[in-house]
Amino acid sequence: MTLNQLQYFYQAAKTQHFNHAADNLSISQPSLSRAIASLENELGVILFERMGRNVSLTKAGQVFLEQTEKILDDIAVAERKMHQLAASGGEISIAYVFPLSMHFIPGAAHAFMELKENKGITFNFAQGLSAENIDGLKNGKYDIIFGTRDPSEMSIRFVPVMRQKLVVIMPAGHELAERPYIDADAFNHYPVLTYDRTSGLGKQTHTFFRRYNLHPNIICESPDENGIASLVREGFGIALVADINYSCIDKICIRPLAPEYEFYHTVYMGYLAGKYQIPAVSRFITFIQDNYSEMVL
């Protein structure tokens, strides 16, 4: 059974006349008759009662028409959706790490959708650790990810889009809050909270500690800044974190590292190299590359 046969049957059923149906389909009447006869032979039922030049549906033909209409409607919907994907529509699934959730991701998505050609696009957002997001990208769950680069993932193209400065946070009233800058040695003298060491930022902060030969007393690891900041606010210790807007800003102090210790974390956009992307995804990748490449926050 072919799509052409279904379309021929549908036209013949609606016009109840093989000649008229053939004219509508721009084919010859014998070609239409042969196609219908072949379809009847394949199905093992008679679809039409022949009455001269006119035809009428048999009971089997009426049942088959109901199903054919559903199939042709589904095909029409599929075609319409594909045309939307090829033009201005479609859904973009992205995943990102927590530090990007406050401003970068919402701001970039909003700016992209403000462009006239992107009005029909929707986003599906997800948040997770970089390793989880990479797995989701590889198994097709996400189109694009934002987070830490994994150089061992040769199938993923990583594009640097942002450099985040790391800062020190401490409870309001902490003695370090009186200093304009914080020396790296401070992490040897106060309890320290850090990111989960398996996360991208966790690896970065531990790189910082090793670089300056620091041996901090790490009392807790947390997967994101909100968890760390909440514990810092309650006086558990100090932390080296990405510089974002914290919801508990009124109860913690933020201080930059001393200039000689300035430390940055690079955020990457990742997508599968060599994989076909619908136009919406391709445009978003280009948009990020053109507007946010290595922006320093």
d(CA 41, CA 45): 7
* List of E strands, 134-287: 144-147, 156-171, 191-195, 217-222, 238-242, 252-256, 264-272
Range of 190's domain?
Answer: 166-264
- From 151-160, 210-219, 222-231, 254-263, the region with the lowest mean pLDDT: 222-231
Token couple for 101: 């959730």
Backbone angles phi, psi at 264, to 5 degrees: -125, 150
Number of domains in the chain: 3
Q: Contact, 238 vs 191, CB < 8 A?
A: yes
Q: What's the CATH code of the domain at 198? A: 3.40.190.10
Same domain for 101 and 176, yes or no, is no
For position 121, what pLDDT does the model report? Answer: 86
Token pair in block for residue 65: 């028409």
| Cα–Cα nearest to 163, from 243, 226, 247, 238 | 243
pTM exceeds 0.75, yes or no: no
C-alpha torsion 43→49→52→55, nearest 10: -80
Domain end residue (candidates: 27, 58, 86): 86
Q: Going by C-beta distance under 8 Å and a sequence separation of 6 or more, which residues neighbour residue 145? A: 94, 95, 96, 130, 133, 134, 136, 137, 269, 270, 271
pLDDT tens, residue by residue, 226-255: 889 889 999 999 999 988 766 556 788 999
For residues 103 and 245, membership in a common domain is answered with no
| Environment class of 223 (CB within 10 Å of its CB; exposed 0-12, middle 13-18, buried 19+) | middle
Separation of alpha carbons 219 and 191, rounded Å = 6
List, for residues 82-94, the tens digit of each pLDDT value. 665 666 667 899 9
Residues 136 and 275 in one domain: yes
- For residues 82 and 136, membership in a common domain is answered with no
The enclosing domain of 10 has a CATH number of: 1.10.10.10
On whether both 258 and 271 belong to a single domain, the answer is no
Same domain, 7 and 68: yes
Give the domain-ending residue among 58, 86, 114: 86
- Same domain assignment for residues 154 and 272: yes
- Mean predicted lDDT score pLDDT of the chain: 87
Whether 74 and 209 share a structural domain: no
pLDDT in tens, 162-189: 888 899 999 988 999 999 999 999 999 9
Residue that finishes a domain, picked among 41, 70, 86: 86
Same domain for 249 and 135? no
So what's the pLDDT on residue 207? 92
Residues 207, 240 within the same domain? yes
More confident position, 191 or 3: 191
pLDDT digits (tens, 9 = 90+) for 48-76: 888 877 888 999 989 999 999 989 888 87
Q: Assess whether 154 and 288 both reside in one domain.
A: yes
Verify that 111 and 257 share a domain, yes or no: no
Query: 98-145: per-residue pLDDT in tens?
Result: 878 878 899 999 999 988 888 888 899 999 888 899 999 998 899 999
